[in-house]
Structure 1
Amino acid sequence: MQMLQLSAEAYWGVIAHAQAAVPLEACGLLAAVQGKDLVSEFFPMRNAAESAQLYRLDDAEYLQVEQIADARKLRLVAVMHSHTHTTAYPSPTDVRDASAFDPFGALLYVIVSLKHVDPVLRCYRIVGGQISEVSVEVQW
């Protein structure tokens, strides 16, 4: 996937979840209908790290989301998290964690920056420690 296509509903769900989690980082998963490129589902998740500087997906909650996605014929496309005081770019911790969690780069990484009044959403592919930005298109 060279571009992340988001439905407006998924986009606003991500932004609202990031804003609601402040002062902590937010996290969640994004999914698309199997065989489609449009990401139409956002699954907000609890930040198991309960931190303003890092996030960790809860293992049990992740398993639940995978089961729901399978039952609804969805495929997981991206991991989302927020940066409360920095830009929407992967930190060294983000890169390390992405490489451990998804060593083959099957998932994209969406980061929402809340550093300024208007949130900024950007997307990346992280493989072998290498970061590549992926363009984002919201289907308004």
Structure 2
Amino acid sequence: MLRLTAEVYAEVVAHALSGLPHEACGLLAAPVGAEQVTRFFPMRNAARSSRIYRFDEVEHLRAERTADAEGLALVAVMHSHTHTTAYPSPTDVHDASAFDPFGALLYVIVSLKDPEPALRCYRILNGAIAEEPVAVGE
């Protein structure tokens, strides 16, 4: 299960919308040993594309170092889909397998296909996609 504070949820959706017309991306972190995500690291889509995303390497490294310094663990990758539903594309599955071969991370997708953004979460391991519930609260 992915647990987000209301503030982090709002930040993720706002970042997805602000990235238009391109996909937006970022990383989510939680205190080490805790379940609730308390920090969102918005990142620039280095691909500058409405169909794919790529982390900027410098921003990615900066987010990892900041999370470590704050006692946080990176627990999820976020990106938006500008034209499709919040479900992993074949590219998303391929990238997850290359970036996270042990399935340690969750993958959050915010769909901007409809007027109301839709956020869903998945675990991707060995090409298999499993949806994870999302809880938003304090």
After TM superposition, the score normalised by the length of structure 2 is 0.98
Secondary structure (helix, strand or coil) at the match of 2:52 reads: coil
The structure 1 residue matched to 2:74, chosen from 59, 73, 76, is: 76
Question: Could you tell me how far 1:104 is from its partner in structure 2?
Answer: 0.3
Question: Could you tell me how far 1:68 is from its partner in structure 2?
Answer: 0.1
**Counterpart residue number, 1:8:** 6
Whether 2:83 is the aligned partner of 1:85: answer yes
**Counterpart residue number, 2:100:** 102
State the identity %: 66
Whole-Å separation in 2 of the counterparts to 1:128 and 1:60: 28
Q: Which contiguous aligned blocks of 4+ residues in structure 1 show a shift greater than 4 angstroms?
A: none
Question: What amino acid sits opposite 2:61 in the alignment?
Answer: L
Equivalent positions of 1:101-120 (< 5 A) are: 101-120=99-118
Could you list the runs of 5+ residues in structure 2 that have no partner in the other structure?
none
Whether 2:61 is the aligned partner of 1:63: answer yes
Equivalent positions of 1:15-26 (< 5 A) are: 15-26=13-24
**Counterpart residue number, 2:124:** 126
Coordinate RMSD, CA, aligned = 0.6
**Counterpart residue number, 1:137:** 135
**Counterpart residue number, 1:53:** 51
Secondary structure (helix, strand or coil) at the match of 2:135 reads: strand
Could you list the runs of 5+ residues in structure 1 that have no partner in the other structure?
none
Question: Could you tell me how far 1:28 is from its partner in structure 2?
Answer: 0.1
Number of residues of Structure 1 aligned to a counterpart in Structure 2: 138
- The one-character-per-residue Cα deviations of 1:86-123 (angstroms, maximum 9, x if unpaired) are 00000000000000000000100000000001000000
